[in-house]
Amino acid sequence: MADAVAEKVIATLASVKRVPAEKITLDTNLQEMGIDSLDVFTLLFELENAFKISIPDDDVRSIKTVNDIVEGVKKLLATAPPNTSVGSTSTAD
Amino acid sequence: MAARRVAITGLGIISPLGLNLADTWNALREGRPAIGPIKSVDGSKWGLKIQNGAEVRGFDPLKHFEGGKDAQLDRFAQFSVVAAREAIRNSGIELTSDLRERSAIVCGSAVGGQAAIEAGFEDLYIQGRGRVHPLTIPKTMSNAGASHISMDLGLSGPVYTISTACSSANHAIGQAFRLVRDGEADFAVTGGSEAIFTVGMLKAWEAMRVIAPDTCRPFSKDRRGMILGEGGAMLILEPLDAAKARGAKVYAEICGFGMTSDAHHLTQPTVDGPARAMRGALREAALAPETVGYINAHGTGTPGNDPVETRAIRAVFGAHADKIGVSSTKSLHGHALGAAGALEAVATVLALHHGILPPTANYNERDPECDLDYIPNHSRAMQVEAALSNSFAFGGLNAVVAFRAAQR
């Protein structure tokens, strides 16, 4: 896989679910791989740390596949400068 | 419904002495302490003076939790689930849908998810990240252990956690006993868990000046304080009749519970409060004091606790006190705070079951103020009829559980 963003997203996902990265592709459906709402919170947290981005709550609801995440991260990276300031994170509740 | 007799039919434990029941019992029986240099925490940057503790070693959460579930549970809750699973397997009970609804889970934990909250504070205050792990709240909550047992085993009756510092697990076991005895539940998982090896927690204990620099020597004249421990232990309680009907192995009966408060001082114990708790447990159990042959003492190894507990035992038992084997197994597994009563309940129940009383390890020298038979350093083969397990907490909260050997 030549896409660095996709590679990092898959590595993060693999780490959160404790599965080998080779088992995850862009087409992998999150629900089918057993990702529940708590996993999503953790995944978003790890992605925000990994890419130094802040993911708005509204962007989260439409995510279904790994590719949705990759596209979403790319969009955030393209539109916003890296953001690590205090209070920038989205909240889960 | 008439009061029912309550049997203990399953035990599960993960402790500094071993990752399961068999290993833990072997170490208890052989009097092998699990106290040594603390390895899971590096406090050098913070000037941590506490050197020794009793840690659970070699525990791999990935062997017990799949698909990233391990990261959803703080270590203390992992201990709860692992101990509960072993206790269920050990009991051989078949969890029918009816029994799942008629179940109860009552757990003790003094601190809850300390590692989770400290990791969040480190992210915030030290790393300046401005965000904490999203599961910090559900990992930290003290009821996480009990809740995860409920979800893991599919038990859907009353589930709650009691947090009364070092008496937490005994209060929990006492409540579970009464729920089963009184017909509120037909089956209970009860005990406690704790995981407190974190920099913040150790520094807080250091400030109290009650931790021994070397090891835990309860009742010994040269004792210098307590040693912190961790772990989890769970007991399976059932009505004795139901246990017999399904041909279950009955380890012992739990037959009484006494609780009092000192209404005196935040940290200094009284003789009267613990004595009244022991009397209360005996009264509820309808046990004559002369039937008690073993007491698993609170026995923290602090200068303050041990003479006061000795006097309380004398106050309750009079001349019979000299015939009771009294040991503090904290000398072996450390003081696991909210899990202490659970670890010690397992030790007490196995003492009744095997006819072997675990010792007070690291005992060197007789203290004139601690003048009972403390089973020094070597376990004792002795079948006793009944036993007490004492837990006394900061805040002056006393909880004593009474056990009776199973009829053979």
* Structural domain contains residue A73: yes
* Structural domain contains residue A88: no
- pLDDT digit string, tens, across residues B231-249: 999 999 999 999 999 999 9
The pLDDT value given to residue A82:
56
Find the CB nearest B131 among A16, A34, A89. A89
**Known catalytic membership, residue B353:** no
Q: In what side-by-side order are the strands of the sheet with B325-327?
A: B159-162, B103-108, B187-194, B231-239, B6-14, B252-261, B397-405, B386-393, B292-296, B325-327
Interface touch A18/B135, C-beta < 8 Å? no
Which CATH number goes with the domain that contains A69?
Answer: 1.10.1200.10
Distances (CA, A) of B270 to B281, B394, B396: 18, 11, 8
Q: Which residue has the tokens 């990759």?
A: A70
Query: What CATH number does domain B6-245 carry, 3.30.365.10, 3.40.190.10, 3.30.2320.80, 3.40.47.10?
Result: 3.40.47.10
CATH architecture label of B256-405: 3-Layer(aba) Sandwich (3.40)
- Candidates A47, A50, A19, A45; CA nearest to A32 is A19
Whether the Cβ atoms of residue A24 and residue A1 lie closer than 8 Å to each other: no
Interface touch B131/A39, C-beta < 8 Å? no
* Structural domain contains residue A92: no
The pLDDT value given to residue A2:
61
Residue B244 burial (10 A CB sphere; 0-12, 13-18, 19+): middle
- pLDDT digit string, tens, across residues A17-63: 999 999 999 999 999 999 988 899 899 999 999 999 999 888 788 88
Count of structural domains, chain A: 1
Residue B29 CA to residue B24 CA, distance in Å, equals 9
* Structural domain contains residue A56: yes
Interface touch A38/B67, C-beta < 8 Å? no
Residue ranges making up the domain that contains A67: 4-79
Does A81 score more than 80 pLDDT? no
Write out the two tokens for B222.
Answer: 């040269």
In a structure prediction context, what are the per-residue pLDDT tens digits for chain B, which is 408 residues long? Answer: 678 999 999 999 999 999 999 999 999 999 999 999 999 999 999 999 999 999 999 999 999 999 999 999 999 999 999 999 999 999 999 999 999 999 999 999 999 999 999 999 999 999 998 889 999 999 999 999 999 999 999 999 999 999 999 999 999 999 999 999 999 999 999 999 999 999 999 999 999 999 999 999 999 999 999 999 999 999 999 999 999 999 999 999 999 999 999 999 999 999 999 999 999 999 999 999 999 999 999 999 999 999 999 999 999 999 999 999 999 999 999 999 999 999 999 999 999 999 999 999 999 999 999 999 999 999 999 999 999 999 999 999 999 999 999 987
> What are the DSSP calls for B266-305, one per residue?
SS---SHHHHHHHHHHHHHHT--GGGEEEEE------TTH
Q: What is the 3-state secondary structure (H, E, C) of B54-96?
A: ECCCCCCHHHCCCCCHHHHCCHHHHHHHHHHHHHHHHHCCCCC
- This prediction has a pTM of 0.94
